Amino acid sequence: MKNKRTVLVTGGCGFIGANFVRLLREEYGDWRIINLDKLTYAGNLKKLQGISEGEMYRFVKGDICDGALVAELFVAEQIDTVVHFAAESHVDRSITGPADFIQTNIVGTFTLLEAARKSWDKGGTGEENNCFLHVSTDEVYGSLGSTGFFTETTAFDPRSPYSASKASSDHLVNAYFHTYGLPVRLTNCSNNYGPYQFPEKLIPLVFNNSMHGKSLPVYGDGKNVRDWLYVKDHCEAIVAVLQKGQNGQCYNIGGNNEKENLEVVTVICDILDRKLGLPESGQPRRSLITFVEDRLGHDRRYAIDASKIKDQLDWEPQVTFEAGMEKTVDWYLENQDWVREIVDGSYTKYYKQMYTV
C-alpha cells in the first residue's frame, strides 16, 4: 500500500470537504492536497484558516466543469487520487432551481472522469494505486417505509433533482469503471452534521434561529427520519475506502442514528437551554418550533446498512449522536462569528484577505 499521495480534493471549501482537508493535514501529513473549489455560496475559505499554502497544500479557485483547467491540473500536479466532494448539495435549492445541480453534479463529475481517464491512460502518474473516489449520498436509493435499510445493492430510486443528479453521477462513475477500467470507488453516506455546515441545513439552521429567537421551521409532521453521522466519522470512512477499499466497489456509510426531525430539533433546543439558560422570553427554545408546509417529494425515511464497510474495511462510527450533538452545539457557540458572517454575506472577505484578487 502506497503512503504518499497527491490528492485532488474537489469542493474542499464546503462542509465535508473542509473537514476532510483538515483531517488530512492533521493526520496524513505526507499526502499532498490540491483543493479545487469554485467558492459558490457554500464554499468558504475561512473554514481552512490556519492551513497554509505551500508544497503540501494548494488552493485553486475554479470550476470542475472547466475541462481545460481540470486536465491541466491532472498533468501539472501529477494527481494520483481524486476525492470528489464538489456538488450542489441542498435539496430545497434543487427544487427551486435544478439547473446548477445538473451542471455541477452531472457535467462536473463527467469532466473530472474524462480528465482522470485521459491523464491516467497516458500513464499520467504511472501508478497502480490511482483512485477516483466519488462521494455520494444515501438519497440515491429513494425513500424507505418504517422498516428496512439501504444496502449497496438497493436499486436507485431518486426523487428530488438533487438525488437524481447524484444518482446520475454515480452511474457515470460506475460506467467509467466497467467501460474504461478507471480505478473508481464510490461511497453513499447518510446525513452529516458537525462544524462548518452551511446554515441552510437543518441542524445549523435550527441552532442559528434559536439563538435569535426566530421560529424553527419543521417540514410536514416532523416525523421524517434521517440517519445522522458526525462529519469526522464520514471523513475517516473515506480514508478507509482509499486505503483499504477495492476498485469498482461502492460502500454505504451511516451512523446507525435514525432520528425523526422533530427529535433532532428538540435536542438542539434542549442543549441550548441547558448551556445558556432560558432565553429572555422565559420560554424553552422548543416553543419556537413551527410546523410548516412540507418539502415537495419529501423522502420519508433513510436508513443505512453499513455492515459492508464495517466487515471489509473495519470502519465504524466513533461518535454517538448524543456526544456529536454536544460537540456540534459547542462548536457553533464558539464560532458564532462564522455563522453570522455567512448569514450576512461578509465571509467573502476571506478570499480577498488570503489571495490577491
Q: Rounded to whole angstroms, how far apart are CA atoms 67 and 78?
A: 16
Residue choice 62, 67, 98, 217 for contact with ligand TDX (CB under 6 A): 217
Least separation in angstroms between CB 201 and ligand TDX: 4
Enumerate residues 6+ apart whose C-beta is below 8 A from 169: 105, 106, 109, 110, 134, 136
Contacts with ligand NAD by CB under 6 A: the residue count is: 31
Residue closest to 319 by CA, chosen among 226, 254, 238, 225: 254
Radius of gyration of the chain (CA): 20
Q: 10 Å Cβ neighbour count for 213? A: 12
Report if residue 81 touches ligand TDX, rule: CB under 6 A: no
Q: Closer to ligand NAD by CB, 43 or 158: give it.
A: 43
Report if residue 172 touches ligand TDX, rule: CB under 6 A: no
Least separation in angstroms between CB 287 and ligand NAD: 28
Least separation in angstroms between CB 192 and ligand NAD: 4
Residue closest to 134 by CA, chosen among 82, 80, 70, 67: 82
Catalytic residue among 57, 141, 162, 176: 162
Please say if 139 is a catalytic residue: yes
Tell whether the torsion through CA atoms of 330, 332, 333 and 337 is positive or negative: positive
Residues in 149-188 at the binding interface with ligand NAD, rule: CB under 6 A: 166
Report if residue 108 touches ligand NAD, rule: CB under 6 A: yes
Residue 75 near residue 25 (C-beta atoms within 8 A):
no
Report if residue 208 touches ligand TDX, rule: CB under 6 A: no
Residue choice 5, 15, 269, 321 for contact with ligand NAD (CB under 6 A): 15
Least separation in angstroms between CB 32 and ligand NAD: 19
Taking phi first (over 0 means left), then psi (-120 to 50 degrees means alpha), and beta for anything else, what does residue 96 get? alpha
Catalytic residue among 88, 138, 299, 316: 138
Stretch that binds ligand TDX, among 70-78, 212-220, 251-259, 330-338 (CB under 6 A): 212-220
Residues in 257-296 at the binding interface with ligand TDX, rule: CB under 6 A: 261, 295
Q: Rounded to whole angstroms, how far apart are CA atoms 68 and 14?
A: 23
Give the Cα-Cα-Cα angle 179, 183, 189 (nearest 5 degrees): 105
Q: Which three-class secondary structure state does DSSP give residue 247?
A: coil
12 DSSP assignment: T
Residues in 81-100 at the binding interface with ligand NAD, rule: CB under 6 A: 85-89
- Kind and range of the H or E element at 83? strand 81-84
Least separation in angstroms between CB 176 and ligand TDX: 21
For the chain, what is the largest distance between any 2 Cα atoms, rounded to a whole number of angstroms? Answer: 67
What is the binding site for ligand TDX (CB under 6 A)? 89-91, 137, 139, 191, 201-202, 205, 217-219, 224, 226, 261, 295
Which residues are known catalytic residues?
A: 138-139, 162
What is the binding site for ligand NAD (CB under 6 A)? 10-11, 13-17, 36-40, 42-43, 63-65, 85-89, 104, 108, 135, 137, 166, 189, 191-192, 198
